Structure 1
Amino acid sequence: MSGLPDWMTPPRPEGWRSEDLDHLPEAPRHTELIDGALVFMMSPQRSWHSRLVTAFTARLMEQAPDGFEIEREMTVRLDDRNRPEPDVCVTTVPYDSSRTGFEANEVLLVVEVVSPESAHRDRTVKLRKYAEAGIPHYWCVGEEDGKPVVHVYELDRPTSAYAPAGIFRHSLRRELPFEIGLDLDQLVP
């Protein structure tokens, strides 16, 4: 492993742990932990991705009733070896300016906007891991003809797996985790 900075060497043979992310100031922004391995978001995000994350964050904040908080790009500790960073999450934990992440049981909804480099993780790996961690709702947002399409999943608690709850184009209406109505065609120009 010569040529790598010291901070990139795992502190133990089995890899990194969730708490290690808080002690890696040299790590690039948007570093995730998946199965004990650091995952860096090295490719630049497209403007489409950035605007969509901003739009989802803003629209959810506008519609969230008292007691719900909307956060973007905050890590979620799923277990000791997994701490992904969803694009948007909904929680009922009160705002705390020093917070660096959430526990899985504090999160009600995660939203991942798919990028070419994250497509496999977002559509398969995170789909399974978020469900196993007990997060009740997962939205995976893709692109069709320049517009967002949202694949919505709800947790089936007996199986700890997500059940598809719909594929939404043009508009999205959901009752959980709170009453949400989105004009998807207006989220990006």
Structure 2
Amino acid sequence: MATRYRFRVGEFERAFQGVPHVELLRGEVYQMSPIGPKHVFAVMRLDHRLKEALGNRALVAVQSPLRLSEDSEPEPDLMVLKPPLERYAERLPTPEDVLLLIEMADTSLPFDQEVKLPLYAEAGIPEVWLVNLQENLLEVHRDPRGGRYREIRLLSPEEAASPAAFPEVRLPWA
């Protein structure tokens, strides 16, 4: 008989240190697909635009771990975090630090929508942007309650997006 083993964050970090493209979600380890050029370009472009628009008002982390809970540590494509930088010298960001989280979704779209979004909502991440690279749409998810986002808005490439934490900022996302 096989026994299923569920990891906690500390065990995961020790066992999978240096292993690329792995995430811990609800105690289970997921090998993520390698990212292609379209995905990389979308991350780089939005990273550049966020840093330019926000300046010193926030920090932007690229494909860095986020300690959601004792059994979940995903690596979102982008996170807009509360400053100062020094607050992360000895610890990973947690949900309380996140102003905006962004996932680029191409082949991972169903997984991001069905697995990651509920996890982010349960953790109280206030806003998640899911860049749907398949349909060239931006899904803006806000108001997390009961494990889901109650406000969902779809934006076309012609529409700029404004993070809830910085409503005066208008970002071209595509």
Confirm or deny: 8 A CA contact 2:106 2:134 kept in the other structure. no
Paired residues, what number? 169
Superposition CA RMSD, Å: 2.4
The 2-side partners of 1:149 and 1:69 are apart by 25
Does residue 65 of structure 2 align to residue 75 of structure 1?
Answer: yes
Q: Which runs of 4+ in 1 moved over 6 A?
A: none
> TM-score w.r.t. structure 1 length?
0.78
Does residue 133 of structure 2 align to residue 143 of structure 1?
Answer: yes
Does residue 170 of structure 2 align to residue 181 of structure 1?
Answer: yes
The 1-side partners of 2:91 and 2:22 are apart by 12
Instruction: Give the corresponding residue for 1:33.
Output: 24
Confirm or deny: 8 A CA contact 2:80 2:100 kept in the other structure. yes
1:99-150 CA deviation, whole Å, 9 max, x = no partner?
673111111211010131x2222112111110110110011111256xx311
Q: Which has the larger radius of gyration?
A: 1
The 2-side partners of 1:26 and 1:129 are apart by 23
Query: Which residue of 7, 29, 36 maps to 1:46?
Result: 36
1:56 CA drift (Å): 1.1
Query: Which residue of 17, 22, 39 maps to 2:13?
Result: 22
The 2-side partners of 1:173 and 1:119 are apart by 20
The 2-side partners of 1:22 and 1:45 are apart by 22
> TM-score w.r.t. structure 2 length?
0.84
Give the residue type in structure 2 aligned to 1:125.
V
**Identity fraction in percent:** 27
Give the residue type in structure 1 aligned to 2:172.
D
Which is helix-richer, 1 or 2? 2
| Structure 2: unaligned runs, 5 residues or longer | none
The 1-side partners of 2:27 and 2:154 are apart by 32
| Structure 1: unaligned runs, 5 residues or longer | 1-11
Which is strand-richer, 1 or 2? 1
Confirm or deny: 8 A CA contact 2:100 2:163 kept in the other structure. no
